[in-house]
Amino acid sequence: MLCPKCGYYSESEETVCPACGEILKHDSGFRSQGAQAIRQGKKAREAAKNRPASKKEDPEKNRRRRGASHATIEMPAVRDTRTNEETQFDNYTVPDTGRGQQRPSETFERRRRSVYDEEADGETAARYLAARDSGRNSRRGMVNWVKIFIITFVTLVVVLAGTRLVLDKTFWGNQNKARMWTLLNDTSIGKIVIRLMGDDISSSALWAVGDEKMNAGDVYGAIACFERAQAQDQKEGVVDVDGLLMLGNAYEAAGELDKASALYEAIYTETPSRTEAYVNHIRILQNSDDEKDLVKAGELMKTAYEKTGDTTFQTLRSDLLPAPPETSLIAAFYETKKTFSLTSYQGFDVYYTFDADVELPYGGTKYTKPITLDEGTYYLRAVAVDGELVSDELRATYKIIMPSPQAPQCNLAPNTYKTSQKVKLRPGKDNENDDDIVIYYTVDGSNPDSDSPIYHTGDQIQLANGWVTLKAVAVNKYRKVSNMLEVKYKIEANPKPKTAFSSEDAIGKLKINQTTQMEFQEMYGEGTPAGAVVMENFTTECRRFDYPWGYAVMNLSKKTWVLVEVSFHTTGTLAGPRKTQVGDQEKYVVDQYKDMLQVESKSGNRGLYSTDKGTGKIWVQEDDTKIIRYRYPVDTHWVQLEYHIGTNGLVDNIDLKYIP
pLDDT number for residue 74: 47
- Which helix (H) or strand (E) segment holds residue 327: the answer is strand 326-327
Q: Are 450 and 483 in contact (CB under 8 A)?
A: no
* CA contacts within 13 A on the Cβ side of 104: 19
Residues 6 or more apart from 195 whose CB is under 8 A from it?
A: none
Q: Is the pLDDT of residue 121 over 60?
A: no
Residue 258 backbone phi and psi in degrees, to 5: -65, -45
Question: How far apart, in whole angstroms, are the C-alpha atoms of residue 477 and residue 292?
Answer: 51
Question: How far apart, in whole angstroms, are the C-alpha atoms of residue 28 and residue 12?
Answer: 11
Q: What is the pLDDT of residues 569-597, one digit of tens each?
A: 999 999 999 999 999 999 999 999 999 99
Helix/strand/coil for 333: strand
Question: How far apart, in whole angstroms, are the C-alpha atoms of residue 616 and residue 593?
Answer: 9
Q: Is the pLDDT of residue 525 over 50?
A: yes
| pTM to 2 decimal places | 0.53
Q: How confident is the model at residue 26 (pLDDT cuts 50, 70, 90)?
A: low
Q: What is the pLDDT of residues 604-658, one digit of tens each?
A: 999 999 999 999 999 999 999 999 999 999 988 999 999 999 999 999 999 999 9
Give Cα 137 to chain centroid, integer Å: 87
- Which helix (H) or strand (E) segment holds residue 270: the answer is helix 257-270
Arithmetic mean of pLDDT, 346-357: 94
CATH number of 152-320, picked from 1.10.1040.10, 1.10.1840.10, 1.25.40.10, 3.30.200.20: 1.25.40.10
pLDDT number for residue 183: 60
How does DSSP assign 180-214, residue by residue? HHHHHTTSHHHHHHHHHH-S---HHHHHHHHHHHH
Question: How far apart, in whole angstroms, are the C-alpha atoms of residue 73 and residue 83?
Answer: 16
**Which is nearest to 605 in space by CA: 442, 452, 443?**
452
* CA contacts within 13 A on the Cβ side of 660: 11
Q: Is the pLDDT of residue 304 over 80?
A: yes
Q: What is the four-CA torsion angle of 533, 538, 541, 545, rounded to 10 degrees?
A: -40
**Which is nearest to 79 in space by CA: 120, 40, 128, 29?**
128
- Which helix (H) or strand (E) segment holds residue 249: the answer is helix 241-253
Q: What is the pLDDT of residues 41-92, one digit of tens each?
A: 555 455 545 555 444 455 555 444 444 444 444 445 445 555 555 555 444 4
Q: What is the pLDDT of residues 146-175, one digit of tens each?
A: 778 787 877 766 665 555 555 555 655 666
Strand ranges in 585-650 using DSSP code E only, listed in sequence order: 606-611, 614-620, 626-634, 637-645
Q: Is the pLDDT of residue 215 over 70?
A: yes
pLDDT number for residue 37: 47
Give Cα 239 to chain centroid, integer Å: 19
- Conformation bin of residue 67: beta by default, left when phi > 0, alpha when psi is -120 to 50: left
CATH number of 409-491, picked from 2.60.40.10, 1.10.10.60, 1.20.120.1730, 2.60.260.40: 2.60.40.10
pLDDT number for residue 210: 81
